[in-house]
Amino acid sequence: MDEILNKISICVEFGKINKNSKYPLGLIDQDGAIELTRKALDMKIDPSKILNDGMLDGMKKVGEKFKSNKIFLPEVLIASKAMKGAMELLKPYFQSGEINYKGKVILGTVSGDLHDIGKNIVKMVLEGGGWQVTDLGVNADAEKFLSTVQNNSVKIVGLSALLTTTMQNMEIITKELKSNFKNVQVFIGGAPVSQSFAELINADKYFPDPQTFLDYLNNHFAN
């Protein structure tokens, strides 16, 4: 059992989606994350074990390497594709309640800002870490965040901004969220922001990279 879970982890880490994938070179013609996950399910391995000891283990290594600049965005993207392909096989187990998400997170690029690359990377890392993410896209205003929190009973919100002109909108959205929902925690990220800015606008914390954010959520909020 440990052998196949380790192989799934390696396939996710290096972006081996399926047997037909030509990447990475060292795994050509070998089973990928999808085939191995199917085999693990056929072996009656607990789906939650496949998720945690296989897929999430691989994505954790991806996040750590990305955080330390050992890999870059293209490698993260292809690892996420491998993870997503294999996760499709586990969807019925999430829906049946046999596997549970660690929690729910709302992400969005704040109003006035149309940049989403950073937010999308955070989304991939969080989903790869076992969190259910509602993505509000770009140019998301306070009303959109408020209604989504209300309708989904979410207590964790991530705000992204890339421009100094739009980072000010984080303060407006944070104020509205804090005024309307006492238990909601607001976290921020993006090139122009910092921990001191988070403190200035009464956000709960700033994260410089996706893996640090994921680690914090796992340590403080995971079910």
Gyration radius of the chain's alpha carbons? 18
Q: Tell me the pLDDT tens digit for each residue of 162-187.
A: 999 999 999 999 999 999 999 999 99
| Residue 121 binned pLDDT confidence (cut-offs 50, 70, 90) | confident
Q: Residue 15 pLDDT > 80, yes or no? A: yes
Condensed to tens digits (0 to 9), the pLDDT of residues 21-78 reads 998 989 999 999 999 999 999 999 999 899 989 998 998 899 889 889 999 888 988 9
Domains of the chain: 2-95 (1.10.1240.10), 104-220 (3.40.50.280)
Q: Is the pLDDT of residue 95 over 80?
A: no
Residue 2, judged by CB atoms within 10 A of its CB (0-12, 13-18, 19+), counts as exposed
The whole-angstrom separation of Cα 119 and Cα 114 is: 11
- Give the Å distances, CA to CA, from 206 to 4, 176, 193, 201, 209: 37, 18, 8, 11, 9
Beta-bridge mates of residue 187: 158, 205
Query: Average pLDDT, whole number, for the chain?
Result: 93
Q: Which of 121, 126, 218 is nearest to 162 (CA)?
A: 121
